Amino acid sequence: MARRIAVTHADLEPSRSRTDLSSKTGAFLMVLTILLGLLCFILCLIAEATRSQVTWLNPDEKGKDGKSECVYSGSGKVPLLCGTGAFVGLAIAMLMEHTYMLTAVTKSSPALLTWDPDSASAKSLTFQAAFFFLTTWLCFAVGEILLLAGLSVESGHLNKWSKPRTDCYTVREGIFSAAGVFALTTVFLEAGLYLTALRAQRLCEEIASVRREVLEASTFYASPPHSPQHRHLAAVPRENPTSTRDSAQSDDQLLLSVFPTPFNKSYNIL
């Protein structure tokens, strides 16, 4: 025997599209963005720990040609790869989440786009969205610039790094660490922007629902009451039947009233 499954209200509700901010796709992308930010932070710490160092040779012999020679402690491949991974990962996280939010907002209900600027909640959410948007892009730009500066320095001595040279450029201490902090701050600010947009969407849905209920109630009370329609009742055959015994007694009484019986002594012909 086939097993029946009960139908709930959740089954009757329309499913949310993938471009909706409150859908599973939006939550998955937000979690993925935070994980990419954490990965960028770890890669920046690795790049900071393995960045190239400079060792000067014969510092007391500057009188011959007036210049000292230096040599690098490594080729810089590890910090270069880690910095490149952090640079690309942060860019992917930023562009992916902002592209999704832009698509979700443009395809959302018109109530989210036609925001009432006079309400207190609208002003608060607008200020929060503007703050998160500006600070997110600012931290992203600073982090990417720091990573780009570190990559340009580390890529300058990939070949012949052990050969002494007169000019040696190194990444200043803390550059990669600062880039990692800015990358982590970027993804958390981006999460704040996503939550702010989600709150704005839910608030607009609640306002639209209240307006719909008010409109339905006003339409119901504004319409005059309808008078009941007159219905013609048709008779049904044998609607009130009588018994055969009652009909026989009524016939006997009728005959007795017309034809007198011989036992009636008070009957006078004249």
Residues 6+ apart with CB under 8 A from 241: none
> With contact defined as beta carbons under 8 Å apart, do 50 and 83 qualify?
no
User: What would the pLDDT profile of 123-174 be if each residue is shown by its tens digit?
Assistant: 788 888 889 999 999 999 999 999 999 999 888 877 877 788 777 888 888 9
User: What predicted TM-score, i.e. pTM, was given to this entire model?
Assistant: 0.66
DSSP H helical ranges for 114-227: 120-154, 175-222
What tokens does 259 get?
């034809």
The Cβ of residue 97 has, within 10 Å, a number of other Cβ atoms equal to: 23
Question: Is pLDDT of 86 > 70?
Answer: yes
**What is the rounded distance in angstroms from the CA atom of residue 139 to the CA atom of residue 37?**
12
User: What would the pLDDT profile of 159-218 be if each residue is shown by its tens digit?
Assistant: 877 788 777 888 888 999 999 999 999 999 999 999 888 888 777 767 667 667 767 777
Question: Is pLDDT of 3 > 70?
Answer: no
